[in-house]
Amino acid sequence: MGSFAENLKKFFNSPAITAGQSGFIKFTIKCNRCGEEITVKVRTTSELSRVYEEDQVPPGAAFIVRKEILGNKCNNLIYLTAYFDENFKSFSSDLTGGKIIE
């Protein structure tokens, strides 16, 4: 029983994955209104949704993410919809209220 408790403790106390490690897809977005550059991280393990044949998505898309992004300088809400292949490489995106820099 001690082993289970130790594993549970390690699970909840483990450090979060940083931007340089796998598990995240990083976007840098520039707000159309104020010009603020906003870094957005998409967690590949929980924020991506699998797409299915009946979904109307670009050919080759395996995953989709939809995010609403709000910077610190203004109240312009930016909407991101991005499609990814099986290797989590972004190949199609739609952005309203901003533009992708990286």
Whether 91 has a pLDDT exceeding 60, the answer reads yes
> Which among 35, 27, 28, 45 is positioned nearest to 90, based on CA atoms?
27
Token couple for 7: 């594993």
Strands of the sheet with 24-31, listed across from one edge: 37-43, 24-31, 98-100
* Mean pLDDT (the chain, rounded): 83
CA distance 11 to 73: 36
Report yes or no on 14 lying in a domain: no
Report yes or no on 6 lying in a domain: no
Instruction: Check residue 5 and give its pLDDT.
Output: 65
Confidence of residue 40 (pLDDT cuts 50, 70, 90): very high
Q: How many domains does the chain have?
A: 1
Report yes or no on 27 lying in a domain: yes
Report yes or no on 17 lying in a domain: no
- Span 1-10, average pLDDT: 61
User: In terms of residue numbers, what domain contains 82?
Assistant: 23-100
Whether 85 has a pLDDT exceeding 70, the answer reads yes
User: Any idea which of 13-22, 35-44, 46-55, 59-68 has the lowest mean pLDDT?
Assistant: 13-22
Report yes or no on 58 lying in a domain: yes
Instruction: Check residue 12 and give its pLDDT.
Output: 52
| pTM of the complete model beyond 0.75 | no
Token couple for 39: 């870094």
Residue 84, burial from CB neighbour count under 10 angstroms (0-12, 13-18, 19+)? buried
